[in-house]
Structure 1
Amino acid sequence: EEEGHIDGRRLSQLVSSPTERRLFRQEQYKPAADCVVSFLLDCSGSMKAHIEPVAMMVDIMIRALEMVGVRTELLGFTTGAWNGGRAHREWLARGRPLRPGRLNEVCHMVFKDADRSWRRARTDIAALFKADLFREGIDGEAVDWACNRMLARGEARRILVVISDGSPADGATGLANDPFYLDNHLKDVVARREQQGAVEILGLGVGLDLSPFYRRCLATDMSKALDNELFFDIVQLISGRHRR
């Protein structure tokens, strides 16, 4: 270069070629992503009908984010059984005490962790199509779990995208507690995490407006073909520029 910062490695050329002017170097700054995006997928029974377009959408987003250096996770949550599991049976055996809390086992799944590339994790991502995966959904504890996973990492920006088609639901828990017990727990978890400020939490609704639970959210129509407009809206949501 003929302008910029002097390059010490080229000064010897000035002795042998006094007219040499290429003695400088230009500093170039390349932006680097310091971010992790975690997709948390609701694997309740109703999501089974939407899993093909949702899986395709997540797969494309993971590959696109990986291309710009963003780390990604794909997580899922369901329950251990339908209508309560061991916890429900133990509650019955104790004589059905009032306000028992959650009466089913949670099942938290890692389809892709942040340290694995899409190429290495793609066969695990395909496990989303297992028919017996989809049961009920206890969202609040899953959001807490996903946030804790990201807090254990060193990226400066952490974004959790919760993908769901409805409210939290577990039959046994709903019958034994306040009907809005799981809804209120999810709201409390999101509010607490947002107040802490370490993780940005976004809601991606599958045919549903998730604004009762997530301040930043986007409703999508997965019955239509995945198009550029959908991905533009998702990118706007993640970047913080989307307006409902």
Structure 2
Amino acid sequence: MGEMFKGSRANLINTQKHVIDTVFIPKEMEAIAEKLGDQTRMFMEFYLVPVLRAWNDQTPFIDYMEDRWESVKEPVSILIKHGVDKMIPKISSTSDSVAVAALIVRLLVDKPMESKEPDGSDSKEKGKGKSSSEPSEGDCGSGSDLPWHDESDEQEQSDAPGDGEEKGSPESSESEGSEAASADAGDGGSAESEEGKKSDGIGDESSDAESGTGDIPKPTKGDLEKLESTKLPKGAMDMSMEGAMKMIISSESELSTGYRPYERTYDFMGRLEHASEFFRNVLATSPKGFHMYGDADNYMVIPKHEAVFNKNIKPLIGDDIVATLAKDLERTIASQNRNQFVPGQRRGRLHGPSLYRLSVDDDRVFRKLEVKRAVNSCVQIVIDMSGSMRGQKIKTACAAAYTLADALARINVKTMITGFTTSSLAMPGKSEFNRSEALFLPIIKRWETPISSKQTICNLGALAGTMILAENIDGESILALLQHFSGRQEDRKIMIVLSDGSPAAQGRGLTGHLKMVTKQIEQDTDIHLLGIGILTDAPRRFYRDNICLNNVGDLAETLIKQMQRLLS
């Protein structure tokens, strides 16, 4: 970007320096202590982004890595040997990124797993034995979730005397070659780079020995499958550039508002059908202080939940209600789509009835076509999943969300349904923090998923059936759910919150935080908020635009005026 837009270079460099100073340097010692000298883990879980950006000639990351290359010498040597350092500057498309990422996974993730093959020959390790061992190891809940965790142990075993000459010799020779490549790279980097761009310099000679030019291979279907099946290490997303920026924005937001959560490690924001697996993985690590409501099975979505939907929610949804609401919304959209000619213009098409103006030297004898279109919109419907919503309230909220999403779909408005509650008890002794529970922010319906899909129906059935409804921390939850609008191209973004009252949790300052959040969104963003009270008018305390909903049948009458204004 700095090459294309010259004026942005200084800003980009300052941003990169800020990320390094704010995220990477403060977390470095903790990462080193946690990985216990395992260089591959250090690289994959912490240094991956700085290394790749240094190879792409980004000066702040080159400076950052200058005295840190030794910490990741082994994995870096392997990548250099296969020309990955030369591929990084050549990446120009998503397919290039996929191919390079798959290559890194093969070199650093799959390879340690292959060495676990008992009595396996080199040819088997380099051949089809690779893929056959991957799924069973990568999905294992007991032991290590990360396939490269045991690499250092394996290297120690392979280097130990009497460990089998035939098996050890190829690995030892490759290790020596890798170390030599890294050594050459370290010595040659500063001398070779005349412009001072690459302090690593790394390894032109050694990489040529294996892969030569460093040309990016074409991605295959296997590459995509490999990346999808590879489990990211814990915290890996936080160490991505995007994750680091989110961390900075979040911390700066906390400083400016005074709102402080204890931690976000166990927060869940994703598809509801994936929640059970997420909590199983969390519980497998036996985290201290994490006391979950119920267990992972309470968050399962199964086919039987379709019957729960048909029993508890469907009776509240009348086809006539959906049709009426859709028709009213359609009229609203149609009223905004107007084409009309405006006379009395000095340019445009000649307008016969205006020709009389010429007799008085008035040249406004033309007309122009004025086209007015309704605003292109997308709507996120958010359901309060707090304990006070149990019973009829949660059923009404699910029915209202389904009805509204169905009606909006009929007029081609994209919708998403999400929810918010907590999944754990508050941690004791953390009263100085505003929140110490884990947030649970499931996606019940995605933007592109039809409202009538079986998955959406089962999700709503689970929500109104077996799902645990706990506490509600509205302000932070709504802020987090705003991320779902990222990348949406619609002109107007609308968030509709279905709730029955105020925030309720053991933290402090939650009500004031919700008021501040809604005010900030309404005044400083292009997102329009609408609070719908489920059997209560409590949302009027927090949302400028609000209505009270006593039953689903009131939707057409109470909601239509608000939607007319929001969609116009």
TM-score by length of 1: 0.72
Instruction: Show the 5 A alignment for 1:71-82.
Output: 71-81=414-424
Partner of residue 533 from structure 2, selected from 205, 223, 226:
205
Instruction: Name the structure 2 match of 1:238.
Output: 563
Deviation at 1:33, TM superposition (A): 6.5
Q: Residues 208-228 of structure 1, C-alpha deviation per residue, up to 9 Å, x if partnerless?
A: 221110000001213xxx32x
Range with greater deviation from structure 2 (30-39 or 189-198)? 30-39
**CA distance in 2: counterparts of 1:115 and 1:33, whole angstroms:** 19
Instruction: Name the structure 1 match of 2:4.
Output: none
> Are the equivalent residues in 1 in contact too, given 2:396–2:534 (CA < 8 A)?
no
Partner of residue 385 from structure 2, selected from 32, 43, 55:
43
Partner of residue 407 from structure 2, selected from 64, 88, 91:
64
More strand by share: 1
Change (3 A) 1:118 1:101: same
Range with greater deviation from structure 2 (130-139 or 158-167)? 130-139
Instruction: Name the structure 2 match of 1:129.
Output: 464
Count of residue correspondences: 192
**CA distance in 2: counterparts of 1:66 and 1:31, whole angstroms:** 18
Deviation at 1:31, TM superposition (A): 6.1
**CA distance in 2: counterparts of 1:115 and 1:30, whole angstroms:** 27
1:166 aligns with 2:501: yes
**CA distance in 2: counterparts of 1:207 and 1:240, whole angstroms:** 23
Change (3 A) 1:100 1:183: same
Q: Which amino acid aligns with 1:198?
A: D
Instruction: Name the structure 1 match of 2:376.
Output: 34
- State the secondary structure of the residue aligned to 1:154: coil
1:219 aligns with 2:534: no
More helix by share: 2
Q: Residues 22-65 of structure 1, C-alpha deviation per residue, up to 9 Å, x if partnerless?
A: xxxxxxx9967621111110000111121222212211111110
The structure with the largest alpha-carbon Rg is 2
Deviation at 1:196, TM superposition (A): 1.8
Partner of residue 451 from structure 2, selected from 114, 118, 135:
118
Partner of residue 107 from structure 1, selected from 436, 440, 460:
440
Q: Which amino acid aligns with 2:470?
A: R
Change (3 A) 1:128 1:235: farther
Deviation at 1:118, TM superposition (A): 1.2
Identity value in percent? 27
TM-score by length of 2: 0.32
Deviation at 1:108, TM superposition (A): 0.4
Greater RCO (CA < 8 Å, at least 6 residues apart): 1
Change (3 A) 1:110 1:32: same
**CA distance in 2: counterparts of 1:146 and 1:198, whole angstroms:** 15
> Are the equivalent residues in 2 in contact too, given 1:163–1:203 (CA < 8 A)?
yes
Deviation at 1:79, TM superposition (A): 0.2
- Alignment root-mean-square deviation, CA: 2.1
**CA distance in 2: counterparts of 1:52 and 1:101, whole angstroms:** 30
Deviation at 1:111, TM superposition (A): 0.3
- Unmatched runs of 5 consecutive residues or more in structure 2: 1-370
**CA distance in 2: counterparts of 1:235 and 1:73, whole angstroms:** 19
Instruction: Name the structure 1 match of 2:395.
Output: 52
- State the secondary structure of the residue aligned to 1:101: coil
Deviation at 1:101, TM superposition (A): 1.9
- State the secondary structure of the residue aligned to 2:390: helix
Deviation at 1:116, TM superposition (A): 1.2
Instruction: Show the 5 A alignment for 1:188-203.
Output: 188-203=516-531
**CA distance in 2: counterparts of 1:35 and 1:57, whole angstroms:** 19
Instruction: Name the structure 2 match of 1:23.
Output: none
> Are the equivalent residues in 1 in contact too, given 2:375–2:491 (CA < 8 A)?
no
Deviation at 1:202, TM superposition (A): 0.7
Q: Residues 138-163 of structure 1, C-alpha deviation per residue, up to 9 Å, x if partnerless?
A: 10112112222113311111100011
> Are the equivalent residues in 1 in contact too, given 2:530–2:544 (CA < 8 A)?
yes
**CA distance in 2: counterparts of 1:112 and 1:185, whole angstroms:** 27
- Unmatched runs of 5 consecutive residues or more in structure 1: 1-28
- State the secondary structure of the residue aligned to 1:133: coil
Deviation at 1:102, TM superposition (A): 0.7
**CA distance in 1: counterparts of 2:416 and 2:440, whole angstroms:** 17
- State the secondary structure of the residue aligned to 1:192: helix
Change (3 A) 1:239 1:207: same
Q: Which ranges of 4 or more aligned residues in structure 1 deviate by more than 3 Å? A: 29-33
> Are the equivalent residues in 1 in contact too, given 2:496–2:531 (CA < 8 A)?
yes
